[in-house]
Amino acid sequence: MAGQIPQSFIDQLLDTVELTSLIGEDVALKRSGNNYQGKCPFHDDRSPSFSVSPEKQVYHCFGCGASGNALTYAKEKRGLDFIGAVEMLAKRQGVEVPREDVSPAQERAQKARQRLYDVVQAADEYFQWNLRNAANKAGAIDYLKGRGLSGATAKRFGIGLSPVSGQALRQHLTQSGFNDDEMEKAGLLVRKPGRNYDRFRNRVTFPIRDRRGRTVAFTARVLDDSKPKYLNSSESDIFHKGKVLYGLHEAITANRTLERLIVVEGQMDVIALAQFELPCAVATSGTAITADHLEQLCRLVPQVVFCFDGDKAGKKAGWRALENALPMMDGQTEFLFLFLPDGQDPDSLLQAEGTAGYHKQLSQAVALTDFLFDHLCVDLDMQRLDSRARLGGIVAPHLKRMPKGLPKELMLDELARRVGTDKTAIRDLVDHAQPAPIEPAPTPAPEPEPEPPAEPVTNDGYDELMNYAGSDDNEGTDYYADFDPAPMPIGEAPAAPEAKLELPPIGINLPAQAKYLQCLYHLPSLAVEPMSWAHEGAWERAINQVIEAIVDHKIDSTAALMGYFSNTDIGRIFAEFTRRDPLIAQDRLAAQWQDLENHRDRRSAKLERRGIKASGNDDASALARLIAARNAAQTQKKP
């Protein structure tokens, strides 16, 4: 079939193809942290040097330098040209490749879908500008300040403000070339006989972005007594509540690697966690967590924490999440459940107790196994034989839904222990059980249509805002002039080293001190105690400052370390490491660290021997004591 392949189709194909599955057909991949590792398919690789990042959907070989995405892999590994690679990937996904000579109806559908992305993006940009410039911005900014948000956090999440008028957005989008049909299909316009008006009015807006960062919908919070308090966009061709997770794009872009994702109930909880340098939370948009949501999370991280309120509704939400998680318990992802004390949510907990209080709560999260048994045992007296037998009958249908593998075997062991029988009897019970039906989540009610505006349909002062799009007055200024640009203080701010740290240009090897910081940034667990140096300059002080921060504040992730040193010289160096090192293996970091330590020890010993000789005290006993001390230190370092 002649003609070009639409770029929109290629983009959608790369979104849906699972890279680890594609490469796994040729390479035995094993999970290593957030990535997968295996032997490189492009060169004779004796030890695993090939890494695949499911969160970025790219691969990289540390041996031969091969890197790319699914299309690159299909071309280079299968020997296909570009067209052949697209057709091969499309066949895997069970879809046809569209061409230029598609039917007029298909072409119209593709263009209409892109127009939805465009009109929602235009609305997003307008709302964000409105929060910086509109006459009614003060109330919105006061609200956001009252929730403890800095201007930097508001900018990161694209928070905006819809105008008071029921016609301002509509008129702006009309002037930008969009029509009422497109606005309605995108959930931006309410159409009534003889009267069309903006869906979102006088509300703080929170853009909902897909994994690629495209704005697909909004949640809007009212600033007056209007109802409902929160209003979501209705579903559309580009927005499906059961698939999109609020905050996922922001979490991916804020973290070089993701160790965990926290599923919370509200979007303000996601933002509050990011404000406190915990940019690893996601939330649904008016619906319960779905299997599609969990599949995305499991591809990205080795640990998912469900964090819900401790009330009855929160426990029900947790149970529905557990039911959806059971078929995904293949040993690759750990599921934990955290139910906060009554009356608290992540936002209020962070405001009251800070990051330390939230981390304390996280440390008390329970495993899926414990939550399952605790939930099902609540009305049973486990001292009685009939209650233990009943437990077996209650739990077996749930275990039936688990895939074969080690996690299921361990669950069978645990059930056998609790029932007080052997595993064979439990296995037989599970084999003959019917899979437990998933408790249906409440069907989300259709998004309510806001009441029409009280004012007549007029421009309502909109003219003075109409020409903002072409203005560059806001370029280079703080996102919200009325916001305090400084982040909310969390503990004592780290002091910057006296001298400015600089990395050499790309292509030139890093000095040893920079390599120390590189290792600590990507693998904070390497930090044990501050180091002693023969000469202590800016780099050496920076290394010890980072080690002290990791140890004193129990920092265990790259993201947390980056947050701690934000707006400092060290933070700038960390940001450069992120840019230069898109993929780096933890075992290589550990090996590099050990090489650095060995070199430092040899150099220190050499300097000490030189000092002994220079002092005239070069007798054999002094040198022997020095060598013995060095050997003892090396022995203590070995695991």
pLDDT greater at residue 447 or residue 544: 544
What are residue 51's DSSP bridge partners?
Answer: 37, 60
Gap between the Cα atoms of 476 and 316, Å rounded: 47
Dmax over Cα atoms in the chain, in whole Å? 103
- pLDDT of 237 higher than 80: yes
Residues 6+ apart with CB under 8 A from 70: 13, 14, 17, 19, 22, 57, 89
The average pLDDT across 271-284 equals: 93
pLDDT at 299: 80
Of residues 12 and 421, the one with the higher pLDDT is 421
- Which among 430, 394, 477, 408 is positioned nearest to 151, based on CA atoms? 477
Give the pLDDT mean for 611-628: 53
| Residue whose structure tokens are 């067209």 | 83
The CATH code for residues 105-239 is 3.90.980.10
Q: What is the pTM of this model?
A: 0.61
Describe the strand order of the beta sheet including 303-309 as a list of residue ranges.
281-283, 261-264, 303-309, 334-340, 366-367
Question: For 143-152, 301-310, 377-386, which range has the lowest pLDDT when averaged over its residues?
Answer: 377-386
Q: What is the pLDDT of residue 2?
A: 46
SS3 (DSSP) at 207: strand
d(CA 320, CA 398): 12
Domain ranges of the chain: 7-93, 105-239, 253-378, 384-440, 512-637
Answer yes or no: is pLDDT of 465 > 50: no
pLDDT bin (cut points 50, 70, 90) of residue 69 is confident
Residue 556 banded pLDDT, cuts 50, 70, 90: low
**In whole angstroms, what is the distance from residue 408 CA to residue 414 CA?**
10
- The string of pLDDT tens digits covering residues 24-36 is 988 899 988 778 8
Among 2.40.40.20, 3.40.1360.10, 3.30.420.40, 3.30.70.20, what is the CATH number of 253-378? 3.40.1360.10
CA angle 105, 107, 109 (to 5 degrees): 70
Q: CA angle at residue 297 from 292 to 300, to 5 degrees?
A: 135
**Residue that has been written with the tokens 């222990």 in this structure:** 417
Tokens at residue 600, please? 């430092």
Question: What is the distance between the alpha carbons of residues 350 and 535, in angstroms, rounded to a whole number?
Answer: 41
Alpha-carbon span 47 to 213, nearest angstrom: 36
Beta bridge partners of 222: 203
Half-sphere exposure (Cβ direction) of 67: Cα atoms closer than 13 Å: 13
For 286-332, write each residue's pLDDT tens digit: 888 999 999 989 888 889 999 999 888 899 999 999 999 999 999 88
Q: How many CB atoms lie within 10 A of CB 354?
A: 15
Residue 437 confidence (pLDDT): 81
Q: What is the pLDDT of residues 339-372, one digit of tens each?
A: 998 888 898 888 888 889 899 999 999 999 999 9
pLDDT for residue 48: 87
228 cis-preceded (ω within 30 degrees of 0) = yes
Mean pLDDT of the region 241-247: 94
Q: What is the pLDDT of residues 421-459, one digit of tens each?
A: 899 999 999 999 888 887 665 555 556 666 666 554 443
User: What single letter denotes the amino acid at residue 454?
Assistant: A
7-93, what's its fold?
DNA Primase; Chain A (3.90.580)
pLDDT of the residue at 3:
55
Distance CA 218, CA 287 (A): 14
Query: Residues of 569-580 as b/e, b for ≥16 C-beta within 10 angstroms?
Result: bbbbbbebbeee
Q: What architecture is domain 512-637? A: Orthogonal Bundle (1.10)
What does the pLDDT average to over 504-518? 82
User: Is 150:479 a contact under the CB 8 Å cutoff?
Assistant: no
Query: How confident is the model at residue 639, as a pLDDT?
Result: 44
